[in-house]
Structure 1
Amino acid sequence: MLDLIVRILAWVLEHRRQRERRRALYLATLGIDTGPRYIHGVRIPAAGGAR
């Protein structure tokens, strides 16, 4: 059961990462640079606008 929970969590996290990559690519086609949200695991407060 724990293995299933870990696999689902990994899938959800990867899905979020992929969605962020797609969003950044879409915005880049519009000429909007969102920049990184995290650098070395530290959140960058001004990156990507208000959220």
Structure 2
Amino acid sequence: MGLGDQIKSLRKKNKITQKELASELGVSLRTVQRYESGAMDLDLSLKTVKS
């Protein structure tokens, strides 16, 4: 399972949309879509998501 798959799995497990995740991370919806598809690597300098 790649990083994009893990992001998607955790997002679905927590029952949040890609749009909600994008808002929490301070990135665009398209960026989250690219992370999940593997078209873009995750920028590890992003802020930590609040729990």
TM range (shorter): 0.3 to 0.5
TM-score (norm: length of structure 2): 0.32
By relative contact order (CA 8 Å, sep 6+), the higher-ranking structure is: 2
Give the greater-gyration-radius structure (CA): 1
Structure 1 or 2: more strand by fraction: 1
TM-score (norm: length of structure 1): 0.32
